[in-house]
Amino acid sequence: MNMNKEKQIELLQHLIQIPTVDDHEKQVVDYIVKLFAPYKDKDAVRITRVPYKGDRESVVVSIGPENSDFKLGFSGHMDVVNLGDPDAWKDDPFSGKLYDNNTKMYGRGTTDMKSGLAGMVGTMLTLLEEKVPLKGELRLLATVGEETGMWGSEELTKQGYVDDLDVLVIGEDTTDLNVVYASNGDIDYTITSYGKVAISSSPGINALDHMLDFIHMANQKLRTQPKIHETLGPLVHNVTMISGGDQVNSIPGKITARGNVRINPLYTVEEVQEMLESIVSELNSWPDYKFELQYDYLGGAVDGDLQGEYVTTAKQMLDDILGHPVKIVGEPGATDASNFVKSPSAPTMLVVGPGNDSVHQIDEYVDIDEYLAAAEFYKRFAKKYLS
């Protein structure tokens, strides 16, 4: 399939028209596999489907020599976030319609991140169609469940699909096609404080008072850590949810809270766990205090080199394609990279994809020129390093 502009736009529309709100990624895999079917007979493509559960699966698609010295990875997730209020959308969120004189495509997932994924799939199809002789392997990792638990990237990392890659480009949305060279890690945790229920006029043991002590100590410790990253800044800690208590005139016997730590690349996940656990064990040594801590998600930070070859090459290519300079930046949020970095031999990772502030919003859209520019970037980057 020769990916002219129309074909590239059509490819994205088809992906948008498959509703993958926290499910049904297998239907995207079916579509992608169908696109590569014409090249299967020629042994030009290797495809491995990696089931998760039900109608959910990731897929690994490879072209170019398997036993080559150099391996380039592309990655994108196939799920999208929920719609919010479906009636608030001005049109069908799974239409993939073009708007504003065909300058924008509309729909859930257009910018986060089916446009990045479609640009990468289009690049692979172009290389196959043009019979570009590849001296290295290009491997696409299309993942399930990034928005809710990053299960696909966790599974593909465990199965070793990242270990032998030299560089990995993730097509997640970046503002103005800036090049993300480093990103924060992420810890989500649940903390429970146990007290003793009593009528509010008698002593009891107030689990809420104790929880407030924990929150105060955790904020004090985690928000004052000295290592500040050059683009991502300090560690960030917030307790974001709290629940418990029975009624206004009873001492609460159990309070549960959930917290989140954004970990800059100068700290490891283990170091931050150690900080949280030391607070809990100190509080548990106090009379009548009883806490339990559990981790809901652990994702590592990704650090890169601002002057690294792949980063500077990506910037030069994008400057050239767009006709104006892009920035090299850090990404405060977490992507599938926070699982890929757990590989024992993690590759250099960059994040570049079409993006704007409609991510996760009602009336999400992608700018068509930016989408085509990203697709052109993926193609140039692959050709430079593989042909």
Q: How far apart are the first and last CA of the chain?
A: 19
Q: What are the pLDDT digits (tens) for 273-296?
A: 999 999 999 999 999 999 999 999
Say what the pLDDT of residue 43 is. Answer: 75
pLDDT confidence bin for 334, thresholds 50/70/90: confident
Q: Which of 261, 272, 252, 258 is nearest to 210 (CA)?
A: 252
Say what the pLDDT of residue 100 is. Answer: 95
Say what the pLDDT of residue 1 is. Answer: 62
Average pLDDT rounded to a whole number, residues 186-213: 95
Say what the pLDDT of residue 149 is. Answer: 87
Q: What are the pLDDT digits (tens) for 105-164?
A: 999 999 999 999 999 999 999 999 999 999 999 999 999 999 998 999 999 999 999 999
pLDDT confidence bin for 41, thresholds 50/70/90: confident
Domains (range + CATH), the chain = 5-183+301-386 (3.40.630.10), 185-299 (3.30.70.360)
**Residue in the block written with tokens 């970990």:** 263
Sheet containing strand 185-194, strands side by side: 236-244, 254-263, 185-194, 290-299
Say what the pLDDT of residue 202 is. Answer: 86
pLDDT confidence bin for 169, thresholds 50/70/90: very high
Say what percent of the chain tops pLDDT 70. Answer: 99
Structure tokens at 193: 């404080």
Instruction: For the chain, give the mean pLDDT.
Output: 96
Say what the pLDDT of residue 2 is. Answer: 63
Average pLDDT rounded to a whole number, residues 41-68: 93
Say what the pLDDT of residue 251 is. Answer: 96
pLDDT confidence bin for 200, thresholds 50/70/90: confident
Say what the pLDDT of residue 203 is. Answer: 86
The neighbour count for residue 281, using CB atoms within 10 Å, is 11
User: How large is the C-alpha radius of gyration of the chain?
Assistant: 23
Q: What are the pLDDT digits (tens) for 241-259?
A: 999 999 999 999 999 999 9
